[in-house]
Amino acid sequence: MSVNVTEVLVQKANGEKLRLGDLHGQVLLIVNVASRCGFTKQYAGLQELQNTYGPKGFQVLGFPCNDFGGQEPGTLDEIKAFCASNYEATFTLFEKVHAKGTTTEPYTTLNQAEPSGDVDWNFEKFLIDKEGNVLKRLKSAIEPNSRDLTDAIEKALAS
């Protein structure tokens, strides 16, 4: 099933709502993040993607999530401080979400992308094209600098 996120409303860190369609023309990587996870080191790779591809029309969108083993217990301010001090992460972080069970956006919509179902763990990634369509769903173990992901980002930026 083709999944499009242009009508999805998410909550920004300042409490304002953002319609993902307002980012039309940008390639997006949506990731559920956590500060106390075995995959937390991926913050560095996500920031590297932001640095490399951001000037070309790419954005990493991080959605803190405490659904998996209570690995993101902090407040958004604590999470942002942790990311900045440990990984020099400057990509956009949003309000905490639920990615499994009773989900919140963007995961109510994203979990319909193939293979459909709830997110399995922290740092699952969804690559979104310039028109808001989900191009790829990548499991947590796929590193941000993996050839599979970087090739897909470059192809999406070129289209």
Known catalytic residue: 83? no
Number of domains in the chain: 1
Q: What is the pTM of this model?
A: 0.96
Tell me the residue range of the domain where 105 lies. 9-158
Return per-residue pLDDT of the chain as tens, 159 residues: 689 999 999 999 888 999 999 999 999 999 999 999 999 999 999 999 999 999 999 999 999 999 999 999 999 999 999 998 999 999 999 999 999 988 999 999 999 998 899 999 999 999 999 999 999 999 999 999 999 999 999 999 999
Catalytic residue, chosen from 37, 60, 128, 152, is: 37
Asked whether residue 62 is domain-assigned, the answer is yes
Asked whether residue 22 is domain-assigned, the answer is yes
Asked whether residue 4 is domain-assigned, the answer is no
Asked whether residue 143 is domain-assigned, the answer is yes
Asked whether residue 2 is domain-assigned, the answer is no
d(CA 111, CA 105): 10
Asked whether residue 109 is domain-assigned, the answer is yes
User: For residue 67, what are the CA distances in angstroms to 13, 42, 79, 126, 134?
Assistant: 19, 18, 15, 18, 22
Asked whether residue 71 is domain-assigned, the answer is yes
Asked whether residue 1 is domain-assigned, the answer is no
Residue 65 is part of a domain; what is its CATH number? 3.40.30.10
